[in-house]
């Protein structure tokens, strides 16, 4: 079985619905060290999650769900463990994982990952930078994994897109900070990152662009 660089299998055990059906802040913290994978016709893509941001619902002005359900954010109001993909800045597809129970919106934005499989394919999609920086931002993840709005609503518990258990990160290795790239609810400590990872999107307080 193929293994990642920290010794755990890339695609198994696959995390189930109960893992995702929790408060987004708790889920965002617990997703660190897990492995996002996508089985594509061109090969397996996978990355170890090293940075996340939580977005809640009616109490979070920065959340897409803050003003209630729309055609764009409908996935956030459905069952946990589904992909919420949105298009931003006219060029980036960003990947979120839905949280909470159905009817209670919440999601976690995947901000950065360490690439562990599919490096050649990621580079073929346009990024020629250092390997550690290939997935160092939500827009980079979307491009590298070939995500489009057609991936919106995919079920992480079945099908080609999923999250494997990987290797959870101990509390002493996790940095907690404010979210970046937003203009509302900026003081909430909903951003989580693996300390020392070269793939984390921000350098100090100055984040990389999407």
Q: 156, 154, 129: which is closest to 143 by C-alpha?
A: 129
Global confidence as pTM: 0.90
Q: Output the 3-class SS for 176-190.
A: EECCCCCCCCCCCCC
**pLDDT the model gives residue 113:** 98
Domain at 17-199, CATH class: alpha beta
Task: With a cut of 50, list the residues of the chain below it in pLDDT.
Answer: 1-7, 204-210
Sorted by where each begins, the domain ranges of the chain are 17-199
Q: Give me the pLDDT at residue 207, please.
A: 38
CA dist 154 and 133 (Å) reads 26
Please report the pLDDT score of residue 9 as a whole number. Answer: 72
> Which pLDDT does position 203 carry in this prediction?
53
For residue 137 the two structure tokens come to 């931002």
Q: State residue 63's pLDDT score.
A: 79
Token code pair at residue 77: 């109001």
The CA distances from residue 147 to 13, 39, 45, 49, 200, in Å, are: 23, 12, 12, 17, 20
């Amino acid at each position: 079985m193929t293994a990642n660089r920290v010794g755990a299998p890339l695609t198994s055990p696959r995390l189930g619905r109960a893992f995702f059906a929790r408060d987004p802040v708790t889920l965002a913290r617990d997703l660190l060290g897990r492995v996002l994978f996508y089985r594509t016709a061109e090969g397996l893509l996978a990355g170890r999650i090293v940075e996340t941001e939580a977005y809640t619902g009616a109490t979070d002005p920065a959340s897409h769900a803050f003003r209630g359900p729309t055609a764009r954010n409908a996935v956030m109001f459905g069952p946990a463990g589904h992909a919420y993909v949105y298009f931003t800045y006219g060029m980036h597809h960003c990947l979120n994982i839905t949280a909470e129970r159905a009817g209670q919106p919440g999601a976690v934005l995947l901000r950065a990952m360490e690439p562990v499989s599919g490096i050649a394919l990621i580079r073929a999609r346009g990024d020629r930078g250092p390997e550690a920086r290939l997935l160092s931002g939500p827009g980079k993840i979307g491009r590298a994994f070939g995500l489009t709005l057609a991936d919106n609503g995919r079920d992480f518990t079945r099908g080609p897109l999923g999250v494997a258990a990987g290797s959870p990160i101990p509390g002493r290795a996790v940095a907690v900070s404010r979210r970046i790239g937003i203009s509302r609810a900026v003081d909430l400590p909903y951003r989580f990152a693996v300390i020392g990872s070269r793939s984390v999107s921000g350098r100090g307080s100055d984040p990389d662009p999407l």
